Homo-oligomer: A and B are copies of this chain.
Amino acid sequence: MAAAQFARATEQGTAVDHADYTSRLAQTRQRIADAGLDGLLIASQYNRRYLTGFTATDHDITESAGLALVTRGTFGLITSTFALNGVEDELTASGVRALLMDNDTLVNVLARALRDEGGVKKLGFEKDWMSYAAYARLHDGLGEVIEFVPTDDLIELVRARKDEAEIATMRRAADIANRAFALLLKDIRVGMTEREIAARLDRHMVELGAAEPSFDTIVACGPGGAQPHWVPSDRPAQAGEPLLIDFGCRVDGYCSDLTRTVVIGEPDAKLRAVYDVVRRAQDAGLAALRAGKRRGSEVDAAAREVITEAGYGKEFMHSLGHGVGLAVHEAPAVSRVRVSTPEAEAEMARIGRIEPGAVVTNEPGIYLTGWGGVRLEDMILVGERDAEVLTDRNPEQIISIAG
């Protein structure tokens, strides 16, 4: 990123320079042409940042900080002074042009940009990231001159293959998370609440240089762990129960994402056994990647088979993994097709291919109502012929904390 007037955070990844942005834009334009389109309107905040360098985040779908516009002749960021004032320098490295809509509507600003360029008839839009309302406004305003075409994952598939700067930054995000967790292990005591444990881990990550946690840290002591996305509560940690911690941090926008399950004191036979199944499933997932399996469904199946054979198939109710990068969850999918429909199969064919340069998670889990959960998650960089675990590997046996 271009040197800012002053640093925006300690987050220091490897800089994305003009050449990186030029390459990203060229690949995007190629995919737009391949899809038979004249341009693309970009609603995803991740795709917007990837192409333009604009770091603003969208509070939710109803509050967008802007749309990027890519056609043959235009590379623009449709935004407002409200969002851009004071951070204009973020756009320098990518060279994107700000198209301000302070005193005008999105439809009018877009219409003017397209009229100035001419020749844009079919304009794609990101169907998963644009609300029906936003689509309808565009269609009502410009539908007579522009055909708006819903698109799938065009830029997501460019993002799926990380470049060198991205990989260096993600190594740093993984490393900070690893070190923060090592510090946390020294902190945990019987009686600390889930919320206290989460707060300590978050603080360690920030103090080690992360911008922020990459998502709300999950800490589940015992029963809460049966809910894979448990929100930390005031329940105090007790000895002997599974203590599931799912966390990660953001460095220059890029996420790490890992999960460890530990225990205070000694694990009983059940916890040891469940942990062992999950760990063997994780090994199977990693082995599949290392053996060159490149379909996400194959890798998922390799791990799932271990859990199913152990009798816990129904208790592993999520995907084995997902890509990770600017978004916590992104392409490729490391997943089965849950319910087979033509659309779901087509989606998996599109985003379930694990190409070299992908960073994916490998995170089998078993969730038992009333007891808790065991999930083990590592981050893996997929190479031409290998697969490198970026995080510390989850150990073969559950970590026992003196507590």
Contacts and interface: CB of A to CB of B under 8 A. Distances in A.
Given A9-B234, A61-B128, A226 B86 contact: yes
Given A104-B339, A133-B128, A343-B137, A215 B59 contact: yes
A329 interface: yes
Contact of A82 (B7, B104, B228, B341): B228
Nearest to A56: B229
How many copies the complex holds: the figure is 2
Contact of A132 (B104, B130, B369): B130
A87 B228 CA distance: 11
A150 B61 CA distance: 16
B59 A329 contact: yes
A321 to B, nearest CB: 15
B329 A63 contact: yes
Contacts of A232: 9
A104 B344 CA distance: 12
A328 interface: yes
Q: How large is the interface on A (under 10, 10 to 19, 20 to 34, 35 or more residues)?
A: 35 or more
A115 interface: no
A280 interface: no
A231 interface: yes
Nearest to A81: B317
Given A129-B61, A132-B125, A85 B369 contact: yes
Given A128-B133, A132-B135, A7 B233 contact: yes
B136 A150 contact: yes
A160 to B, nearest CB: 15
A85 B339 contact: no
B127 A128 contact: no
A131 interface: yes
A351 to B, nearest CB: 12
A262 interface: no
Contact of A131 (B59, B80, B128, B203): B128
Contacts of A206: 195, 199
Nearest to A6: B235
Nearest to A63: B329
A104 B317 CA distance: 13
Contacts of A92: none
Nearest to A62: B128
Contact of A86 (B10, B230, B339): B230
A129 B131 contact: yes
A150 B128 CA distance: 17
A275 interface: no
A-B pairs, 9 with minimum CB distance: A86-B227, A86-B226, A127-B133, A61-B61, A8-B233, A132-B135, A127-B132, A128-B133, A6-B235
11 contacts: A5-B223, A6-B224, A10-B195, A55-B231, A59-B328, A62-B128, A81-B317, A105-B344, A127-B133, A130-B132, A133-B150
Given A85-B228, A136-B150, 12 more contacts: A6-B224, A8-B233, A10-B195, A55-B231, A60-B60, A85-B227, A85-B369, A86-B230, A104-B339, A125-B132, A132-B132, A132-B150
